[in-house]
Structure 1
Amino acid sequence: MTTPAFVTCDLLDDHPELEIQVVTPSMDGKFFKSYGAVKSFGGQVVTVKCFEDNSRVKELLATDGTGKVLVVDGGASMRCALMGDLIAESAVKNHWNGVIIYGCVRDVDAIAELNLGVHALASIPQKSNRKGIGEVDIALHFGGVTIQSGDYVYADNNGIVVSKEKLVDL
Protein backbone atom coordinates (compact mmCIF):
# COMPACT_ATOMS: atom_id res chain seq x y z
CA MET A 1 0.00 0.00 0.00
CA THR A 2 1.40 3.42 -0.94
CA THR A 3 1.30 6.37 1.41
CA PRO A 4 -0.91 9.18 0.12
CA ALA A 5 0.84 12.41 -0.87
CA PHE A 6 -1.41 14.32 1.55
CA VAL A 7 -4.41 14.08 3.82
CA THR A 8 -7.02 16.82 3.34
CA CYS A 9 -7.46 17.17 7.12
CA ASP A 10 -3.74 17.92 7.45
CA LEU A 11 -3.82 20.42 4.58
CA LEU A 12 -6.44 22.41 6.48
CA ASP A 13 -4.55 22.12 9.79
CA ASP A 14 -1.20 23.05 8.19
CA HIS A 15 -2.51 26.16 6.42
CA PRO A 16 -4.86 28.01 8.82
CA GLU A 17 -3.81 31.35 7.31
CA LEU A 18 -5.18 30.44 3.86
CA GLU A 19 -8.75 30.64 2.69
CA ILE A 20 -9.26 26.98 1.87
CA GLN A 21 -12.79 25.97 0.91
CA VAL A 22 -14.24 22.63 1.97
CA VAL A 23 -16.88 20.92 -0.18
CA THR A 24 -19.69 20.11 2.24
CA PRO A 25 -22.03 17.14 2.02
CA SER A 26 -25.58 18.28 1.43
CA MET A 27 -28.57 17.67 3.63
CA ASP A 28 -30.23 15.60 0.91
CA GLY A 29 -27.54 12.91 1.08
CA LYS A 30 -25.28 13.99 -1.78
CA PHE A 31 -21.85 12.74 -0.74
CA PHE A 32 -18.84 12.28 -2.98
CA LYS A 33 -17.52 8.71 -3.18
CA SER A 34 -14.14 7.53 -4.43
CA TYR A 35 -14.23 5.31 -7.54
CA GLY A 36 -10.67 5.37 -8.92
CA ALA A 37 -7.64 3.37 -7.84
CA VAL A 38 -5.92 6.57 -6.66
CA LYS A 39 -7.50 7.52 -3.33
CA SER A 40 -5.60 10.75 -2.67
CA PHE A 41 -5.25 13.11 -5.63
CA GLY A 42 -5.11 16.76 -6.53
CA GLY A 43 -3.91 19.33 -8.98
CA GLN A 44 -4.77 22.47 -10.86
CA VAL A 45 -8.44 22.72 -11.75
CA VAL A 46 -10.02 22.76 -15.18
CA THR A 47 -13.78 23.30 -14.96
CA VAL A 48 -16.64 22.13 -17.14
CA LYS A 49 -20.37 22.55 -16.62
CA CYS A 50 -22.64 20.17 -18.45
CA PHE A 51 -26.00 18.59 -17.74
CA GLU A 52 -26.54 15.03 -18.93
CA ASP A 53 -24.12 15.54 -21.84
CA ASN A 54 -20.51 14.40 -21.48
CA SER A 55 -19.22 15.81 -24.80
CA ARG A 56 -16.93 18.37 -23.15
CA VAL A 57 -15.76 15.84 -20.52
CA LYS A 58 -14.67 13.46 -23.28
CA GLU A 59 -12.99 16.27 -25.26
CA LEU A 60 -11.06 17.67 -22.29
CA LEU A 61 -9.87 14.32 -20.96
CA ALA A 62 -8.45 13.57 -24.44
CA THR A 63 -6.04 16.52 -24.03
CA ASP A 64 -2.86 16.78 -21.96
CA GLY A 65 -3.87 16.92 -18.30
CA THR A 66 -0.46 16.76 -16.65
CA GLY A 67 -0.84 18.07 -13.09
CA LYS A 68 -4.55 18.76 -13.54
CA VAL A 69 -7.92 17.66 -12.18
CA LEU A 70 -11.10 18.04 -14.21
CA VAL A 71 -13.97 19.29 -12.04
CA VAL A 72 -17.35 18.66 -13.63
CA ASP A 73 -20.61 20.27 -12.54
CA GLY A 74 -23.21 17.86 -13.83
CA GLY A 75 -26.00 19.48 -11.86
CA ALA A 76 -26.07 16.47 -9.49
CA SER A 77 -28.08 14.55 -12.10
CA MET A 78 -28.75 10.97 -11.10
CA ARG A 79 -30.18 10.02 -14.53
CA CYS A 80 -26.99 9.28 -16.48
CA ALA A 81 -23.22 8.98 -16.15
CA LEU A 82 -20.83 11.68 -17.32
CA MET A 83 -17.81 9.36 -17.42
CA GLY A 84 -17.27 5.65 -18.04
CA ASP A 85 -14.27 3.41 -18.43
CA LEU A 86 -13.29 4.50 -21.95
CA ILE A 87 -13.21 8.19 -21.10
CA ALA A 88 -11.42 7.41 -17.81
CA GLU A 89 -8.81 5.39 -19.76
CA SER A 90 -8.32 8.43 -21.99
CA ALA A 91 -7.72 10.54 -18.87
CA VAL A 92 -5.02 8.13 -17.69
CA LYS A 93 -3.40 8.05 -21.15
CA ASN A 94 -3.33 11.87 -21.14
CA HIS A 95 -1.84 12.14 -17.63
CA TRP A 96 -4.77 13.68 -15.73
CA ASN A 97 -4.40 13.38 -11.93
CA GLY A 98 -8.12 13.01 -11.39
CA VAL A 99 -11.73 13.82 -12.12
CA ILE A 100 -14.36 15.14 -9.70
CA ILE A 101 -17.93 14.86 -10.96
CA TYR A 102 -20.94 16.49 -9.32
CA GLY A 103 -23.00 13.76 -10.92
CA CYS A 104 -22.58 10.08 -11.82
CA VAL A 105 -20.05 7.68 -13.33
CA ARG A 106 -20.44 4.18 -14.77
CA ASP A 107 -18.21 1.14 -15.38
CA VAL A 108 -17.09 1.46 -11.76
CA ASP A 109 -15.26 -1.89 -11.57
CA ALA A 110 -13.08 -0.94 -14.54
CA ILE A 111 -12.51 2.61 -13.20
CA ALA A 112 -11.45 1.13 -9.85
CA GLU A 113 -8.51 -0.51 -11.63
CA LEU A 114 -7.27 2.67 -13.31
CA ASN A 115 -4.41 4.84 -12.03
CA LEU A 116 -6.73 7.82 -11.67
CA GLY A 117 -8.43 9.64 -8.84
CA VAL A 118 -12.20 9.75 -9.37
CA HIS A 119 -14.81 11.22 -7.05
CA ALA A 120 -18.49 11.32 -8.01
CA LEU A 121 -21.85 11.35 -6.26
CA ALA A 122 -23.02 7.94 -7.49
CA SER A 123 -22.87 5.35 -10.21
CA ILE A 124 -25.51 4.49 -12.78
CA PRO A 125 -25.29 2.26 -15.87
CA GLN A 126 -27.06 4.76 -18.17
CA LYS A 127 -24.73 6.72 -20.47
CA SER A 128 -25.30 10.35 -21.36
CA ASN A 129 -26.39 11.69 -24.73
CA ARG A 130 -23.74 13.65 -26.59
CA LYS A 131 -25.06 16.85 -28.10
CA GLY A 132 -21.91 18.96 -27.86
CA ILE A 133 -23.35 21.01 -25.00
CA GLY A 134 -21.28 22.29 -22.09
CA GLU A 135 -19.25 25.24 -20.86
CA VAL A 136 -15.53 25.12 -20.10
CA ASP A 137 -13.46 27.33 -17.75
CA ILE A 138 -16.41 28.88 -15.93
CA ALA A 139 -16.94 29.27 -12.18
CA LEU A 140 -18.74 26.28 -10.66
CA HIS A 141 -20.89 26.41 -7.52
CA PHE A 142 -21.75 23.26 -5.55
CA GLY A 143 -21.16 21.83 -2.11
CA GLY A 144 -20.97 25.33 -0.63
CA VAL A 145 -17.87 26.28 -2.64
CA THR A 146 -16.95 28.17 -5.79
CA ILE A 147 -14.38 26.45 -7.99
CA GLN A 148 -12.65 28.10 -10.93
CA SER A 149 -10.15 26.95 -13.52
CA GLY A 150 -6.70 27.65 -12.15
CA ASP A 151 -7.65 26.87 -8.53
CA TYR A 152 -6.14 23.84 -6.83
CA VAL A 153 -8.25 20.95 -5.61
CA TYR A 154 -7.29 18.11 -3.29
CA ALA A 155 -9.43 15.03 -2.66
CA ASP A 156 -9.17 11.95 -0.49
CA ASN A 157 -11.51 9.75 1.52
CA ASN A 158 -11.97 12.59 4.04
CA GLY A 159 -13.35 14.99 1.48
CA ILE A 160 -12.50 17.67 -1.05
CA VAL A 161 -10.79 21.01 -0.45
CA VAL A 162 -10.20 23.91 -2.84
CA SER A 163 -7.48 26.56 -2.63
CA LYS A 164 -6.31 29.47 -4.76
CA GLU A 165 -2.77 28.40 -3.90
CA LYS A 166 -0.86 25.19 -4.50
CA LEU A 167 -0.62 23.40 -1.13
CA VAL A 168 1.52 20.37 -1.96
CA ASP A 169 3.60 19.01 -4.83
CA LEU A 170 2.12 15.89 -6.37
Structure 2
Amino acid sequence: MTIATADLYDERGDELDSLSLQLLDLGGHVAFDGPVRTVRCHRDNALVKEVLATPGDGAVLVIDGGGSLESALVGDLIAASAVENGWAGIIVHGAIRDREAMASLPLGVKALGSNPRKSAKGGVGEIDVPVTIAGVVFAPGRHVWADDDGVVVER
Protein backbone atom coordinates (compact mmCIF):
# COMPACT_ATOMS: atom_id res chain seq x y z
CA MET A 1 0.00 0.00 0.00
CA THR A 2 1.37 3.36 -1.02
CA ILE A 3 1.35 6.15 1.55
CA ALA A 4 -0.38 9.38 0.49
CA THR A 5 2.11 12.03 -0.60
CA ALA A 6 0.38 14.68 1.55
CA ASP A 7 0.71 12.51 4.66
CA LEU A 8 4.28 11.66 3.81
CA TYR A 9 5.13 15.33 3.36
CA ASP A 10 3.49 16.15 6.71
CA GLU A 11 5.69 13.50 8.38
CA ARG A 12 8.98 14.04 6.53
CA GLY A 13 8.74 17.41 4.77
CA ASP A 14 12.26 18.51 5.69
CA GLU A 15 13.63 15.36 4.02
CA LEU A 16 11.58 15.66 0.81
CA ASP A 17 11.19 17.83 -2.24
CA SER A 18 7.76 18.32 -3.77
CA LEU A 19 7.44 18.69 -7.54
CA SER A 20 5.33 21.78 -8.28
CA LEU A 21 4.99 20.86 -11.95
CA GLN A 22 1.46 19.66 -12.69
CA LEU A 23 1.55 16.27 -14.41
CA LEU A 24 -1.35 14.25 -15.83
CA ASP A 25 -2.12 10.77 -14.47
CA LEU A 26 -2.11 8.62 -17.60
CA GLY A 27 -1.48 5.06 -16.39
CA GLY A 28 -3.68 2.44 -14.81
CA HIS A 29 -2.25 3.20 -11.36
CA VAL A 30 -2.46 6.71 -9.94
CA ALA A 31 -0.43 5.98 -6.78
CA PHE A 32 3.01 4.39 -7.06
CA ASP A 33 6.45 4.62 -5.52
CA GLY A 34 9.90 3.14 -5.72
CA PRO A 35 13.58 3.85 -6.07
CA VAL A 36 14.48 6.36 -8.77
CA ARG A 37 16.13 5.40 -12.06
CA THR A 38 16.62 8.09 -14.69
CA VAL A 39 16.97 8.75 -18.40
CA ARG A 40 17.78 12.17 -19.86
CA CYS A 41 16.88 12.39 -23.53
CA HIS A 42 15.32 14.80 -26.02
CA ARG A 43 12.88 13.48 -28.60
CA ASP A 44 14.71 10.11 -28.68
CA ASN A 45 13.35 7.19 -26.70
CA ALA A 46 15.83 4.40 -27.51
CA LEU A 47 17.39 4.57 -24.03
CA VAL A 48 13.92 4.63 -22.42
CA LYS A 49 13.02 1.43 -24.26
CA GLU A 50 16.36 -0.13 -23.32
CA VAL A 51 16.04 0.64 -19.59
CA LEU A 52 12.39 -0.42 -19.29
CA ALA A 53 13.25 -3.76 -20.92
CA THR A 54 15.46 -4.58 -17.92
CA PRO A 55 14.26 -5.80 -14.50
CA GLY A 56 12.65 -2.85 -12.70
CA ASP A 57 12.34 -4.45 -9.27
CA GLY A 58 9.65 -1.91 -8.33
CA ALA A 59 11.60 1.14 -9.47
CA VAL A 60 10.23 4.34 -11.01
CA LEU A 61 11.83 5.62 -14.20
CA VAL A 62 12.06 9.42 -14.26
CA ILE A 63 12.50 10.62 -17.83
CA ASP A 64 13.77 14.13 -18.41
CA GLY A 65 12.64 14.95 -21.92
CA GLY A 66 13.23 18.65 -21.36
CA GLY A 67 9.50 19.29 -21.22
CA SER A 68 9.12 18.74 -24.96
CA LEU A 69 5.65 17.85 -26.21
CA GLU A 70 6.86 17.54 -29.81
CA SER A 71 7.03 13.73 -29.77
CA ALA A 72 6.22 10.91 -27.37
CA LEU A 73 8.92 9.29 -25.24
CA VAL A 74 6.75 6.37 -24.08
CA GLY A 75 4.05 4.44 -25.92
CA ASP A 76 1.95 1.40 -25.12
CA LEU A 77 4.55 -1.19 -26.20
CA ILE A 78 7.33 0.32 -24.09
CA ALA A 79 4.92 0.70 -21.15
CA ALA A 80 3.81 -2.94 -21.52
CA SER A 81 7.49 -3.93 -21.41
CA ALA A 82 7.82 -1.96 -18.17
CA VAL A 83 4.91 -3.88 -16.67
CA GLU A 84 6.40 -7.22 -17.77
CA ASN A 85 9.71 -6.27 -16.19
CA GLY A 86 8.35 -5.19 -12.80
CA TRP A 87 8.56 -1.39 -12.95
CA ALA A 88 6.26 0.51 -10.57
CA GLY A 89 5.91 3.62 -12.68
CA ILE A 90 7.18 6.20 -15.12
CA ILE A 91 7.36 9.98 -14.65
CA VAL A 92 7.86 11.82 -17.95
CA HIS A 93 8.91 15.45 -18.26
CA GLY A 94 7.56 15.31 -21.77
CA ALA A 95 4.89 13.47 -23.75
CA ILE A 96 3.58 9.93 -24.04
CA ARG A 97 1.24 8.41 -26.63
CA ASP A 98 -1.34 5.62 -26.78
CA ARG A 99 -3.24 7.13 -23.85
CA GLU A 100 -6.17 4.68 -23.95
CA ALA A 101 -3.90 1.63 -23.92
CA MET A 102 -1.64 3.21 -21.31
CA ALA A 103 -4.61 3.79 -18.98
CA SER A 104 -5.41 0.07 -19.06
CA LEU A 105 -1.96 -1.04 -17.90
CA PRO A 106 -1.17 -1.78 -14.22
CA LEU A 107 1.52 0.90 -14.19
CA GLY A 108 1.83 4.40 -12.79
CA VAL A 109 2.39 6.95 -15.55
CA LYS A 110 2.64 10.71 -15.08
CA ALA A 111 3.49 13.02 -17.97
CA LEU A 112 2.99 16.56 -19.24
CA GLY A 113 0.68 15.38 -22.01
CA SER A 114 0.50 13.31 -25.16
CA ASN A 115 1.41 13.46 -28.82
CA PRO A 116 0.91 10.69 -31.39
CA ARG A 117 4.26 11.49 -33.07
CA LYS A 118 6.91 8.89 -32.30
CA SER A 119 10.43 9.76 -31.16
CA ALA A 120 13.76 9.17 -32.84
CA LYS A 121 15.58 5.92 -32.06
CA GLY A 122 19.22 7.05 -32.10
CA GLY A 123 20.04 6.27 -28.48
CA VAL A 124 21.06 9.82 -27.68
CA GLY A 125 20.93 10.66 -23.98
CA GLU A 126 22.13 9.52 -20.57
CA ILE A 127 21.05 6.78 -18.16
CA ASP A 128 21.12 6.93 -14.34
CA VAL A 129 22.34 10.51 -13.98
CA PRO A 130 20.75 13.06 -11.65
CA VAL A 131 18.05 15.01 -13.50
CA THR A 132 16.46 18.26 -12.41
CA ILE A 133 12.81 18.90 -13.25
CA ALA A 134 11.20 22.19 -12.18
CA GLY A 135 13.97 22.71 -9.62
CA VAL A 136 13.64 19.24 -8.06
CA VAL A 137 16.57 16.80 -8.31
CA PHE A 138 15.77 13.16 -9.04
CA ALA A 139 18.93 11.18 -8.28
CA PRO A 140 19.19 7.46 -8.98
CA GLY A 141 18.57 5.41 -5.85
CA ARG A 142 16.52 8.01 -4.00
CA HIS A 143 12.89 7.13 -3.31
CA VAL A 144 10.00 8.79 -5.14
CA TRP A 145 6.29 8.69 -4.29
CA ALA A 146 3.47 9.76 -6.61
CA ASP A 147 -0.31 9.95 -6.30
CA ASP A 148 -3.18 12.19 -7.34
CA ASP A 149 -1.77 15.03 -5.20
CA GLY A 150 1.60 15.02 -6.92
CA VAL A 151 5.18 13.81 -6.63
CA VAL A 152 7.62 13.88 -3.71
CA VAL A 153 11.21 12.62 -3.70
CA GLU A 154 13.91 12.19 -1.08
CA ARG A 155 16.53 14.93 -1.01
* TM-score bucket (shorter structure): over 0.9
Amino acid corresponding to residue 75 of structure 1 in structure 2: G
Q: How does 1:1-170 map to 2 (within 5 A)?
A: 5-16=2-13, 18-25=14-21, 31-164=22-155
- How high is the sequence identity, in percent, across the aligned residues? 46
Please say if residues 2 and 33 of structure 2, whose CA atoms lie closer than 8 Å, have aligned partners that are also in contact. Answer: no
Residue 5 of structure 1: how far off its partner (Å): 2.0
Residue 114 of structure 1: how far off its partner (Å): 0.2
What is the CA–CA distance in structure 2 between the aligned matches of 1:139 and 1:15, rounded to whole Å?
A: 22
Count of matched residue pairs: 155
Residue 107 of structure 1: how far off its partner (Å): 0.1
Cα RMSD after superposing both structures: 1.0
**Alignment deviations for residues 118-162 of structure 1 (CA, whole Å, 9 cap, x no partner):** 000001111101111110111111122111101111111101000
TM-score normalised over the length of structure 2: 0.97
SS at match of 2:151: strand
Please say if residues 20 and 134 of structure 2, whose CA atoms lie closer than 8 Å, have aligned partners that are also in contact. Answer: yes
- Which of structure 1's runs of 4+ aligned residues deviate more than 3 A? none
Greater Rg by CA: 1
SS at match of 2:15: coil
What is the CA–CA distance in structure 2 between the aligned matches of 1:113 and 1:50, rounded to whole Å?
A: 26
Structure 1 unaligned residues grouped into runs of 5+: 26-30, 165-170
Q: Which residue of 2 aligns with 1:167?
A: none
Amino acid corresponding to residue 6 of structure 2 in structure 1: C
SS at match of 1:39: coil
Structure 2 unaligned residues grouped into runs of 5+: none
Please say if residues 29 and 107 of structure 2, whose CA atoms lie closer than 8 Å, have aligned partners that are also in contact. Answer: yes
